């Protein structure tokens, strides 16, 4: 474990698919990690979202946009806590970065809207 924690924190991300796969196989340690991760994610969401809020929830990040034990746990909990909220998965962050860059360069609203539609169509 010391070797794992000695690495950069972002390097731990490479372990996420291994942990979620182990949780799928009913590994108790992996299941506990998934439950703890879900709890942290849901607590964070609860900090920024009112209990009766019905606006959409956008899931982002490889652990939440793929079908795995963590994503299913989080989606179930969001559905229970905010039953009227639609959920969707974010697209590739590069598309959002491109739109933000264009906006920061002063691209007009019509062009930004057109870019947005094209980016969504490409990920369709």
pLDDT tens digits along 57-88: 989 888 998 999 999 999 999 999 999 899 98
Half-sphere exposure of 9 (CA within 13 A, CB side): 0
Helices (H) and strands (E) counted in the chain, each on its own, are 7, 2
**Residue 122: pLDDT band by 50, 70, 90 thresholds?**
low
pLDDT tens digits along 94-118: 877 888 899 999 999 999 888 888 8
- Report pTM: 0.73
**Across 45-61, average pLDDT:** 91
Angle, CA 68 vertex, CA 65 and CA 69 arms, to 5°: 125
Provide the token pair at 76: 């179930």
């Amino acid at each position: 474990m010391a070797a794992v924690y000695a690495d950069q924190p972002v390097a731990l991300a490479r372990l996420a698919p291994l942990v979620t796969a182990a949780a799928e196989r009913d590994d108790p340690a992996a299941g506990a990690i998934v439950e703890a991760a879900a709890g942290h994610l849901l607590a964070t969401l609860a900090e920024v979202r009112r209990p009766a809020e019905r606006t959409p929830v956008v899931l982002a990040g490889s652990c939440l946009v793929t079908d795995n034990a963590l994503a299913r746990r989080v989606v179930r909990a969001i559905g229970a806590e905010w039953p009227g909220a639609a959920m969707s998965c974010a697209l590739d962050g590069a598309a959002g970065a491109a739109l933000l860059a264009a906006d920061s360069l002063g691209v007009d609203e019509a062009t930004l809207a057109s870019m947005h539609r094209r980016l969504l169509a490409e990920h369709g």
